[in-house]
Amino acid sequence: MRGYFAIGAEGISKPMNLGALMRTANAFGASFVYSVGAHDKVHTAYKADTSRTFKTVPYYQWDRIDEMALPKGCKLVGVELTEDAVELPEFRHPRAAAYILGRERGDLSAEMLAKCDHVVKIPTRFCINVSLAGALVMYDRVRSMGAWRDRPVMPGGPNP
């Protein structure tokens, strides 16, 4: 798979959610993980990250949106339930992307949404846990951009 991706959250406040997001990012091969305006207590997120992501994947923590420094050419993709967001299964992921999720009990800020190049939504009836949302976005990216064969017509796996 060509390109790279990162995943982050704005205003995240629960260390366990950030830890789970980091572990999943490590498993899916993220280039870096980040947060913007995270609560002070998320500094203990490493306790929830049993894969020790801090040792192998860079983590960037910005206090404010204007401090964000994404690599040149990296597209910011917001994940939010808005009317104009593209449904995730219909979204073509950018080759270089940084996905940003909202806080646990709220949405992405208007300022963050304005900064996004794209906004996608997971086709659910209501908001789901931030680390689970991140896992779904990363899975969709890997699934849609990888060299996977088409799914078989009949239930089950492909025939050998």
Q: What is the pLDDT of residue 48?
A: 66
The structure tokens listed for 132 are 């689970």
Residue 132 has pLDDT above 70, yes or no: yes
pLDDT at 46 over 80: no
Please write the tens of the pLDDT for every residue from 95-110: 999 999 998 778 999 9
Question: Model-level pTM?
Answer: 0.92
Domain 4-145 class, CATH top level: alpha beta
**Would you list the domain boundaries of the chain?**
4-145
Quote the mean pLDDT of the chain.
Answer: 90
For residue 29, give the nearest of 60, 2, 69, 10 by alpha carbon. Answer: 2
Q: Which residue has the higher pLDDT, 14 or 47?
A: 14
Model confidence at 122: pLDDT above 90: yes
Q: Nearest to residue 37, comparing CAs of 102, 119, 128, 132?
A: 102
pLDDT in tens, 72-97: 999 999 999 999 999 999 999 999 99
DSSP letters for 141-153: HHHHHS-PPPPPS
Q: Distance between CA atoms of 1 and 150, rounded to whole angstroms?
A: 16
**pLDDT over 90, % of the chain:** 67
